[in-house]
Amino acid sequence: MPFLLPLLALLLLSAAPTVTEVVTAMTACDQNFLNQTSPQIGGILEGGNILDQNRYKTICQTLRDEKIFVTLYDTTNKIPVFSAYKYTGINESARQNQWKIEPQLEEIKLNANMEIEEEGKSYTHQADNKNYINDRGFQKGHLLPQSYGWDIIAKRATFTLTNSVPQVDSFNSKSWSYMESCVKCVLDKYCIDANGKTEGFVVTGARPSNNNLLNSKVNIPSMLWSAFCCYSSSQGAWLASAHWGDNIPDGGRVLQTKTLDELRLELGAPSEAFPGTNCPIHTTVTHLYPQLDKFCKCPKPVSTSVSP
């Protein structure tokens, strides 16, 4: 009988209630931002204020009364602007793969603590599973990867369609996947504070295309970007880097590591991943790559440092 206990625990967790909070301010789930300060996204989110609250919605992904991560969602393009998360390491490795929608975006009335599964319905303000049925070579690409989740509950929270974009198969499974693996290795090895606790902040976003739609509904982003920042006690310094790439077929090339300032220039002012923080904007973590395991899939070190 004891060998059945882990299976029973997984079954109970799979039935755990999911409660999503669509809120009006980023401050409602700002624990996922470094210094509780949200990113700047020009023309969308500036100074912590959403400029068009009819179109852009803040979603606190909340399971078992814990706000796991935060997404700023574009109800017109039906893709996230970004998802942000405080990374604290990995406790469990089991993967979840059951995609959900966000009932509050549609004002679907549910009983308290009841979850809703996508069942082929059509929704006005978000994508659904049938929008991803295609023969054009796209996948549901996570912004916040499930592999970053602390436990099975956190991993499960990433499988919401408001945390996904149409991503080219090869870009998702090769370059983008390699980048996620590399960043996770840096977070695990170097983003450890003086108390031995892992803590890093990750923001991943998508740049929408000019009306390139999947199944005439979901915007296919032209580019995806990601950035992280943390304090490293072993290095006695703040660490940060950024990555981005076009959402096109690739041959498995690894995305080059860039600075936060280069990302700012790519996104356009006043966009900024970690405004008003100690995150270094002119340096990367490429000098740490030689100390990482070869399975981390980091790119060969190429300096992108520029003078302040």
Q: What is the CATH number of the domain that holds 166?
A: 3.40.570.10
Residue 301 lies in a domain: no
Residue 54 lies in a domain: yes
**Which ranges constitute the DSSP H helices of 124-171?**
152-157, 169-170
pLDDT at residue 6 in the model: 40
Residue 302 lies in a domain: no
Residue 228 lies in a domain: yes
Q: How far is CA 96 from CA 55, 145, 167, 204, 216, in A?
A: 30, 11, 19, 20, 28
d(CA 294, CA 292): 6
d(CA 238, CA 87): 15
d(CA 80, CA 263): 18
Rg (CA), the chain: 19
pLDDT at residue 2 in the model: 44
pLDDT at residue 121 in the model: 64
Residue 44 lies in a domain: yes
Residue 109 lies in a domain: yes
Contact 142, 180 (CB under 8 A): no
Question: Within the chain, which residues score under 50 in pLDDT?
Answer: 1-19, 109-119, 303-304, 307-308
Q: How far is CA 50 from CA 26, 175, 277, 283, in A?
A: 8, 31, 20, 30
d(CA 44, CA 32): 19
CA dihedral (185, 189, 191, 195) positive or negative? positive
Count of domains observed in the chain: 1
pLDDT at residue 5 in the model: 39
CA dihedral (69, 22, 166, 224) positive or negative? negative
User: pLDDT by residue (tens digit) across 147-193?
Assistant: 999 988 889 889 989 999 999 999 999 999 999 999 999 999 999 99
**Full residue range of the structural domain in which residue 255 is found:** 2-296
pLDDT at residue 304 in the model: 47
pLDDT at residue 114 in the model: 40
Residue 149 burial (CB count, 10 A) = 27
Residue 21 lies in a domain: yes
Phi, psi of 173 (to 5 degrees): -85, -15
